[in-house]
Amino acid sequence: NAGVTQTPKFRILKIGQSMTLQCTQDMNHNYMYWYRQDPGMGLKLIYYSVGAGITDKGEVPNGYNVSRSTTEDFPLRLELAAPSQTSVYFCASSYPQTDTQYFGPGTRLTVL
């Protein structure tokens, strides 16, 4: 079991570029989440999904998009990167009706 995997580990983008952060889980979890963590701050929820084909906004969704075509994958898309999106991004997954989320190792993104 690999758990939750994220790629890439690091990325530097120029302002206005786009990219997709990949997230895959092999635990057959229905629920998946994307968070960002800024220095000295907690994790803020960007988007979440309760199953394939179902996504919804979290606390800080502006500038991001998601899709969920399979149970395993939950990619996060940045269309027009801005310096304010410099952060560490974590993907997580869980079973329905439980609170214990399992996190990936994170992607450190810098927008210059």
Query: In the complex with another protein, which residue's Cβ is closer, 76 or 80?
Result: 76
Residue 2 sits in the site that holds another protein (CB under 8 A): no
Amino acid making up residue 29: H
Taking CB under 8 A as the criterion, the residue among 97, 110, 111, 112 binding another protein is 97
Q: What are phi and psi of 85, to 5 degrees?
A: -90, 0
Query: In the complex with another protein, which residue's Cβ is closer, 14 or 41?
Result: 41
Residue 92 sits in the site that holds another protein (CB under 8 A): yes
Least distance (Å) from another protein to the CB of residue 68?
A: 13
Tokens 């994220």 correspond to what residue? Answer: 6
Burial class (CB in 10 A: 0-12, 13-18, 19+), 62: exposed
Beta carbons of 72 and 3 less than 8 angstroms apart: no
Least distance (Å) from another protein to the CB of residue 54?
A: 10
Residues lying near another protein in the complex (CB under 8 A): 4, 31, 33, 35, 40-45, 48, 50, 56, 58, 90, 92, 94, 96-106
